[in-house]
A and B are shown apart, each in its own frame.
Chain A
Amino acid sequence: EAGVVQSPRYKIIEKKQPVAFWCNPISGHNTLYWYLQNLGQGPELLIRYENEEAVDDSQLPKDRFSAERLKGVDSTLKIQPAELGDSAVYLCASSLVTQGEQYFGPGTRLTVT
């Protein structure tokens, strides 16, 4: 069974540029999560989807971050414009149901210069 797939694995951009991350969850998993992991810290939830509905986006900085999961399968997280402080690892996870075991992708490491 394929795991959670994320791309790209690494991204370097200049500040004020836009960037997008893509995640394909495990097949059949209804719940999808995006986490932010700063260096030396644990992951922090940005947004959680149940199918195509964002049910918890309270921690998403909506002035510059957006996300979508149009068909309830794969998802895209976007930052526009990026700031230096956005340099971090962006993790995607999925679970079969809410409260179920979460499976994590390898993450996208973003560096903003």
Chain B
Amino acid sequence: GDSVTQMEGPVTLSEEAFLTINCTYTATGYPSLFWYVQYPGEGLQLLLKATKADDKGSNKGFEATYRKETTSFHLEKGSVQVSDSAVYFCALTTSSGNTPLVFGKGTRLSVIA
């Protein structure tokens, strides 16, 4: 079945450091890919998405490129801030049928000043 694998956390970075959170997927059909962020005490929020190969999603300084050849959707940010501390989830949904979102286990990011 469809699945998402994320790098395990926690990830601890200093402010202004470069961030990469790896995400790879297995899916039938042609999935759409997502990154969600969950701040402490809040619900999941869509951070960015890409719906086809080579698309780049971007938002709030975060970017991720849909790489079909490596089945990856790695999240990057050039300079993290303390306010980016949260749990980040990679997810997919396929266009076949009505597949719901399939999530990775999440990666906790802590940014220290």
B98 at the binding interface (Cβ < 8 Å): yes
A11-19, A41-49, A63-71, A74-82: which lies at the interface: A41-49
Closest B residue to A31 using CB positions: B98
Closest B residue to A100 using CB positions: B93
Number of B interface residues at 8 Å Cβ cutoff, please give it.
20
Closest A residue to B90 using CB positions: A42
Among B4, B91, B103, the most chain A Cβ lie within 10 Å of the Cβ of B103
The B-contacting residues of A in range 70-113, CB under 8 angstroms, are 91, 93, 98-99, 101-107
Known: A91-B44, A105-B43. A56 touches B105 (CB 8 A): no
Q: What residues of B have a CB within 8 angstroms of the CB of A101 in the complex? A: 46, 49
Asked whether, in the complex, the Cβ of B105 is within 8 Å of the Cβ of A33, the reply is no
B57 at the binding interface (Cβ < 8 Å): no
A26 at the binding interface (Cβ < 8 Å): no
Closest A residue to B36 using CB positions: A104
B53 to chain A, nearest CB (A): 18
Known: A48-B100, A56-B98, A98-B98. A43 touches B43 (CB 8 A): no
Asked whether, in the complex, the Cβ of B44 is within 8 Å of the Cβ of A40, the reply is no
Q: What residues of B have a CB within 8 angstroms of the CB of A105 in the complex? A: 43
Determine which of A48, A56, A107 lies in contact with B43 in the assembled complex, contact meaning CB atoms within 8 Å.
A107
B111 at the binding interface (Cβ < 8 Å): no
Asked whether, in the complex, the Cβ of A42 is within 8 Å of the Cβ of B100, the reply is no
Known: A99-B93, A106-B41. A45 touches B101 (CB 8 A): yes
The B-contacting residues of A in range 28-52, CB under 8 angstroms, are 33, 40-45, 48
List 5 A-B pairs, minimum CB-CB distance, nearest first: A42-B103, A104-B43, A104-B44, A106-B43, A45-B100
